[in-house]
Every structure is written in C-alpha cells, then in structure tokens.
Amino acid sequence: MLKQAIENLGNRTIQGVWRIGFAARFFVAILLHSGTAFRRFGLTIREMYFTGVLSLIIILVSGLFVGMVLGLQGYETLQRYGSESALGTLVALSLVRELGPVLAGLLFASRAGSAITAEIGLMKATEQLSAMEMMAVDPIARVVAPRFWAGVISMPLLAALFSALGVFGGYLVGVRLIGVDDGTFWSQMQGAVDFEQDILNGVIKSVVFGVAVTTIALFEGYDAPPTAEGVSGATTRTVVTSSLVVLALDFILTAIMFRGLN
C-alpha cells in the first residue's frame, strides 16, 4: 500500500520532469521551424482569424464591462477622500499595467488556447499529423508554428483593445453617468500614465503571456493521448495551466518592472 503510493509519486515526478523537458524541446523546435510561418504568411493569417478575430467579441465586451465596474467602484472609494478627479488615473493605470494584459491573457487561454489544443489533439488522434509526416511535410512547421505566431501577434493587439475599451467604459460611467469633470478625467490620466513605464511594459507583458499561453496550448495538444478522453483532458489542462502560468508570470513581471516606481 505505502510502497505503491511512493512508487506512484516517483513515477509522476519523473513523468512531470519528462514532460517539461519535452515541452522545452518542443518550444525550441517551433522557433527553429518558424520559417514556413513567415514565408507562407497566409497560413499565419488564417490562424490569426481563428485566434484573434474570433476572440474579439469576448475581449471587447469584457473590457468594456471591466472598465465600467472600475469606474463605479473607483468613484465609490475615491469620493470618500474627495479625490474623484483621480478616477481617470485609477482606471487607466490598473487597466494598462495589470488588468488589460492579465484578463486578456486569461480570456485568450480559455477562448483560443482550448480551441488550439482540441484541434491539434484531434489531428493527432485521427493520425493527420502522422499522415503529414508520411508526405514529408513537417507538422511542426505546417501546423504548429503558424498557430504559435498567430497567437503571439494576436495577444498584444487583444490586450491593447481590452485596455482601450476599458478606459472607454470607465469614461462612460465616470464622466457620462456620474459626472466627473471631462477635462480632469483625461488630463489627470495623461499626467500619471507614462508611455514607456506603463504602456510599453503592458505590451511586453501581453507578448510574454501570448508566448506562454500559445506554447502551452500547442504542447498540450501535441502531447495529448490520441483518444477522445485524452483530448478532453488536454483541453482542460491547457486552460488550468495557462491561467496559472499567466498569473504567476504577471507577478514576476510586475516585480521586475514596477519595483522602485512609486
């Protein structure tokens, strides 16, 4: 009984290390085989339609609502201290620095990441990937790399749209609904949000999240057991793992970027 448990634990640990090593090799293989994704850019554009354009609705609507909630709650707290003029700063800084990249990353993982895993897992289960190899087409170059670059390009655009719509939502609630002064809202925001320190760091964050989420999604699909059960398990793992990785990476990046700032 105990021996069995220890054996299981050891087996799982070894399997985990094995998977991490394979994932790292997989990531390097994607980078090495990226040539096709750029030479035949049509492939990447096709994937950008599925990962980027089809994620637009959920990103735009969530961004708008997150911004509106920030406007309401921020006003509620700030007016206690008589500084509701700082509402623009609060909404813009929290969106551009944290909420934009992180929430867009989480939504991207559940909207596009799960789809990528299911698609590639099913391709593997129905032996389409092996068929390509038989025809001397490298599936990494033909299937995986275009999806990777599509995700990496789409993610910062989605995060920027999320932040922009969020600021607009905060403006709608703060200025139009509650009646914070229009001029102070924008000028305080512009005074506090710095292009290099805040916006550029937010974009860097979203690129990192894009790389992480797409790599995890592609790897889980590629590594999925070729059964219906295996694909469904891999899809779940994609969403769980990439959400956790996005949050953990966000903490690390924030610690690096914004430490030492006020």
Q: Can you give the binding site for another protein, defined by CB under 8 A?
A: 42, 45-46, 48-49, 52-53, 56, 81, 83, 92, 96, 154, 156-158, 160-161, 163-165, 167, 186, 189-191, 193-199, 202-203, 261-262
Q: For the CB of residue 56, give the shortest distance to another protein in the complex, in Å.
A: 6
Q: Which is nearer to another protein, 52 or 74 (CB)?
A: 52
Q: For the CB of residue 25, give the shortest distance to another protein in the complex, in Å.
A: 31
Q: Which is nearer to another protein, 130 or 190 (CB)?
A: 190
Q: For the CB of residue 252, give the shortest distance to another protein in the complex, in Å.
A: 23
Q: For the CB of residue 2, give the shortest distance to another protein in the complex, in Å.
A: 56
Nearest alpha-carbon partner for 92 in 248, 222, 197? 197
Q: For the CB of residue 190, give the shortest distance to another protein in the complex, in Å.
A: 4
Q: Which is nearer to another protein, 25 or 46 (CB)?
A: 46
| Residue 179 buriedness (CB in 10 A; 0-12 / 13-18 / 19+) | exposed
Q: For the CB of residue 222, give the shortest distance to another protein in the complex, in Å.
A: 24
Calpha distance 192→190 (Å, rounded):
5
Q: Which is nearer to another protein, 93 or 218 (CB)?
A: 93
Nearest alpha-carbon partner for 253 in 201, 215, 216, 213? 201
The residue whose two tokens read 């030492």 is: 260
Nearest alpha-carbon partner for 124 in 222, 239, 18, 248? 222
Q: Which is nearer to another protein, 21 or 183 (CB)?
A: 183
- Residue 56 to residues 3, 138, 152, 171, 216: CA-CA distances in angstroms? 52, 31, 15, 21, 21
Q: Which is nearer to another protein, 104 or 216 (CB)?
A: 104
The residue whose two tokens read 């430490």 is: 259
Going by the DSSP 8-state scheme, the letter that residue 189 receives in this structure is H
- Residue 98 to residues 120, 144, 204, 258: CA-CA distances in angstroms? 31, 29, 12, 11
